[in-house]
Amino acid sequence: MTDNPQDTPGLPLAKPLDEAAIREFSSRVRGQLIRPEDDGYDAARTVFYGGFDRRPALIVRVKDATDVSNVIALARESGLELAVRSGGHSVAGHSTTDGGIVLDLSEMKELEIDVERRTAWAQTGLTAGEYTAATAAHGLATGFGDTGSVGIGGITLGGGVGYLVRKHGLTIDDLLAAEVVTADGELLRVDAERHPDLFWAIRGGGGNFGVATKFQFRLHEVDTIVGGMLVLPATPEVVASFVAEAEAAPEELSTIANVMTAPPMPFLPAEVHGQLVIMAMLVYAGEDVDAGERVIAPFRAHAEPIVDMLKPMPYPEIYPPEEDDFHPTAVARTMFIDTIDRDVSQTILEHLRASDAPMRVAQIRVLGGAMARMSAEATAFAHRSSRIMVNVAAFYEGAEERAAREAWVTDFAAALRQGEGCAYVGFLGEEGEERVREAYPESTWDRLAAIKRRYDPTNLFRLNQNIPPAIEQ
Ligand SMILES: Cc1cc2nc3c(=O)[nH]c(=O)nc-3n(C[C@H](O)[C@H](O)[C@H](O)COP(=O)(O)OP(=O)(O)OC[C@H]3O[C@@H](n4cnc5c(N)ncnc54)[C@H](O)[C@@H]3O)c2cc1C
């Protein structure tokens, strides 16, 4: 946290917001201002993950792009740290700040769907679940991630890997245009023709380049899918054959397999609680339900399913209702790897067995398909040819447990590493600059740093997986 960013050239020293400055600012914005003494402050400063007990000096629930521009000006002039929040799911806690300003987009939820052209303009306060429920009314969808409450702001800027990744690619592969307020407060329309450098950078470069207020997405016909949850016993053979099956499946099928200890949930038989299982989500997004049934059938055949909820269903049902007061504390590591054979599966299970964290998981996402067909240079997300994404995570209950859980995920990630380190920026925690660099090949990083210098030379947008502006040669 840098409240007083003396090390950042070009930024003024931070000065606290005095009453006159707040009054003047509030006369210029339409959105609500929330300060530490106000009712609702504690709810307004809460983000998805627990463990980030930060106290912003000011939270602004912006209403439009002019508000966004005014908040950016206030941050620029005061030198206070600026946190930008869409859905509040930052794994690294980047959407809250101690003593700074939170620009909260959650009330900007307009959505214009053009059914004929199959496009939608969406304000970035929408969540993936809200967007998906609205477009589903027309039998249309854009792919986001595995969780409905994630904001479309953060997931899109990171790339977006979800249930349609093999069929339709990353979320950014459906991004046609955006409106972005840059560090100088200007609202820019960006697309393949206008500010193409910025359009390239925001497709994977995160929140480094400005505040996205609106996205225009392509929509696909996705109506009834075949999928849902399948729970299998986790043995090295079953994990390896699940992955092999997912890789061989047609690209209409995307899978997310959580190898984990079975939680004590009512839909799981009591005798498996605490045992290692594969809790998998499958989505077949093809046109024909019978073909979908044929594609998912082999997954049921690797072992006697513990729970089999695979069925034809409306696409939005992949985002079940969530509890508002769920704020887990967890540490995680993300990576891309090439293969999960029996030996790698064995390593996964050994590590999961060796921990006593209340919940621990290795999440496996088989990639390929449409995501891999785009060239690595097409967007700032460049790990296009990666075959499998793995996220390992341990949940913890008190701060005193954190160090042990962190050591376990670090050790687990090292045991799974295959070749060069590489990471998905959307799942990075606060892991240091080296890990941010692993999200980008060197040529991508250099191009991003040059674009950063052009649009945010003072690194005003620095509370993120930061790409510092390139130094002028
Ligand atoms: C439970 C859970 C499940 C997830 N599942 C997936 C998944 O399946 N696939 C996947 O790809 N990712 C997934 N993620 C990762 C997720 O995409 C990132 O954490 C993402 O940044 C969250 O977006 P948000 O808007 O909710 O978060 P926020 O915390 O609001 O934003 C995160 C960061 O993004 C930037 N940002 C957000 N909105 C804007 C904006 N409008 N303009 C400029 N910058 C902005 C800011 O730097 C901010 O700090 C998951 C995360 C969680 C917690």
User: What pLDDT shows up at residue 13?
Assistant: 67
Eight-class DSSP state of 125: T
Nearest to 74 by CA among 88, 55, 59: 59
Any ligand 1 atom below 6 A from CB of 363: no
User: What pLDDT shows up at residue 17?
Assistant: 86
Nearest to 172 by CA among 134, 211, 143, 132: 143
Any ligand 1 atom below 6 A from CB of 413: no
Residue nearest atom 28 of ligand 1, based on CA coordinates: 88
- DSSP-assigned states of every residue in 423-443: --GGG--S--HHHHHHTS-HH
Any ligand 1 atom below 6 A from CB of 150: yes
Contact 409, 363 (CB under 8 A): no
Phi, psi (rounded to 5 degrees) for 202: -75, -10
User: What pLDDT shows up at residue 8?
Assistant: 54
- 21 C-alpha to center of ligand 1: Å? 31
Pocket mutation for ligand 1, best pick of 110, 152, 157, 283 (most atoms within 8 Å of C-beta):
157
Q: Which two tokens stand for residue 128?
A: 């993936």
Q: What is the rounded CA–CA span in Å between residue 442 and residue 437?
A: 8
Contact 121, 135 (CB under 8 A): no
- 403 C-alpha to center of ligand 1: Å? 24
User: What pLDDT shows up at residue 351?
Assistant: 98
Give the pLDDT means over successive 10-residue stretches in the chain (473 positions): 45 77 94 97 96 96 98 96 98 96 98 98 98 98 98 98 98 98 98 98 98 98 97 98 98 98 94 96 96 97 96 96 93 97 98 95 98 98 97 94 96 96 96 96 98 98 98 79
Eight-class DSSP state of 222: -
Any ligand 1 atom below 6 A from CB of 464: yes
User: What pLDDT shows up at residue 4?
Assistant: 41
Any ligand 1 atom below 6 A from CB of 386: no
Any ligand 1 atom below 6 A from CB of 88: yes
Contact 41, 56 (CB under 8 A): no
Give the containing element (helix H, strand E) for 191.
Answer: strand 187-191
Q: What is the rounded CA–CA span in Å between residue 108 and residue 276?
A: 42
SS3 201: helix
Pocket mutation for ligand 1, best pick of 46, 84, 214, 386 (most atoms within 8 Å of C-beta):
84
Residue nearest atom 36 of ligand 1, based on CA coordinates: 154
Give Dmax (Cα) for the chain. Answer: 69
Any ligand 1 atom below 6 A from CB of 462: no
Any ligand 1 atom below 6 A from CB of 124: yes
Helix axes 402-416, 342-354, angle to 10 degrees: 170
